[in-house]
Amino acid sequence: MLDRFFGLQARGTTVRTEVVAGLTTFLSMSYIIFVNPDILSQAGMDPGAVFVATCLAAAVGSLIMGAYANYPIAIAPGMGLNAFFTYGVVIGMGVAWQTALMAVFMSGTIFVILSLLPVREWIINSIPMELKLAIGAGIGFFLIIIGLTSVGIVVDNPATLVGLGDLSATPTLLAILCFVTIAILETRKVPGGILLGMLGITILGMLLGVAEPSGIVSAPPSIAPTFLQLDWAKAFEVALIAVVISFLFVDMFDTAGTLVSVAHKAGLLDENGHVKNLRKALLADSTSTMIGAALGTSSATSYVESIAGVNAGGRTGLTAIVVGIMFLVALFFAPLAGAIQSYATGPALVFVGCVMVGALADIDWDDATCYVPSVITAVAMPLTYSIATGLGLGFIAYTAIKIGSGKWKELSVGVIVLAALFLAKFIFLDAA
């Protein structure tokens, strides 16, 4: 039955291989169970409810991807998107988290509509590759600065804006040790290296008396504080349009990049190099974002850590099904999530950010019209504490430099329109 449904033999795999691949993927991405509640709780959301929402959104999303699209790709609330939700929208713009959840839901709805229409390829293809790469790198830098400030390594300085914190503090030393441990484990390709590093440093922190143990297993907390708490009162305010677009674009490009990377690794591209069943995969991803917002978490997205499962032999949706089941099992480990402190989650953010910054290596560094807008995009995100602002400045710089350099024919209609919209936003909305 499984062979008929997933086409195991046709893709050269077995049930055992798919299960092992699913467990490998889960271990590689399960850090989100602990990091996501920590980040969203800073937006004022109940951490226990966010923990449940994270597990359920990841479980449902992965199950949809596996059963509907038959891809070995797992889905969960995305890193970077959760940071933008908390630090860019809620804290940075002063938007209530209930309103931000509504913006996430709207972005998911638009993503679903675009996934059903041919326009999705036009939008994805209209954005130049260098800006797509810069978006990923910029989010990486954003995560790094968030991680470093959360553990006290980077602190506020009235004279220089930022400065070096107290490296002799015990939590800061634990964070440094955690980061080094994660980097070593990941370099040695130990499955679940990020998770193991976080758990190891958490246990060490308990032994040193920095944190108190609160148990490991219990019944899942109540999801009521975040379930269906979307605030529609400000749904059509102009100021939120840029937020919805930012959620949409980051999710769309992140998903597209992940799908291409994982599909290529799994041998699931057609003869033209296009992702097979792209529409189904995009629908699975976008639907998961809507479900996640309803449950009470930031945008869900396809995880590049799925490559770990593909390397272990995963080739079908059964791999994603196993991941979904494991996230359901994780619901009963809420006390463990509550015991993990910022000195464990911060280093995970920094390491994931370092991985994402690697996207800059693929930019054309011989063409200033390519690398200058890319650098502006990537650097503006952490410096302005806003993914949306980095996106906008990048589009504007790319358009202006291409036109000024006489390369205006390389501009797509989509880029010009987006640059004009962001310019109007900065001049008329932000100035007001």
The confidence score (pLDDT) of residue 304 equals 72
Does a structural domain hold residue 413?
A: no
Does a structural domain hold residue 346?
A: yes
Q: Give Cα 62 to chain centroid, integer Å.
A: 15
Does a structural domain hold residue 423?
A: no
- Integer Cα distance of 410 and 399 in angstroms: 9
Does a structural domain hold residue 401?
A: no
Does a structural domain hold residue 370?
A: no
DSSP state, residue 251:
H
- 75-77 and 300-302: which strand pairing? antiparallel
- Integer Cα distance of 108 and 288 in angstroms: 8
Contact 275, 263 (CB under 8 A): yes
The confidence score (pLDDT) of residue 432 equals 46
- Integer Cα distance of 150 and 145 in angstroms: 8
Q: How many CA atoms lie within 13 A of 188 on its CB side?
A: 11
For 14, the domain range is 2-352
- Integer Cα distance of 73 and 88 in angstroms: 28
Q: Which two tokens stand for residue 409?
A: 């024919």
Does a structural domain hold residue 269?
A: yes
- Integer Cα distance of 71 and 292 in angstroms: 20
The H or E element containing residue 420 is helix 413-424
Does a structural domain hold residue 31?
A: yes
- 75-77 and 154-157: which strand pairing? unpaired
Contact 226, 296 (CB under 8 A): yes
Instruction: Indicate the pTM of the whole model.
Output: 0.74
pLDDT average per 10 residues of sequence, the chain (432 residues): 78 82 80 87 91 93 90 86 85 87 90 79 69 79 83 85 87 92 89 80 86 75 90 74 78 70 67 68 87 92 78 82 91 76 81 83 89 91 78 89 89 83 75 48
Please state, as a whole number, how many other Cβ atoms lie within 10 Å of the Cβ of residue 168. Answer: 7
Does a structural domain hold residue 183?
A: yes
The confidence score (pLDDT) of residue 198 equals 81
The H or E element containing residue 162 is strand 161-164
Cα separations (Å) of 163 from 103, 149, 152, 157, 378? 34, 10, 10, 5, 21
Structural domains in the chain (count): 1
Helix, strand, coil shares of the chain, percent, nearest 5, are: 70, 5, 25
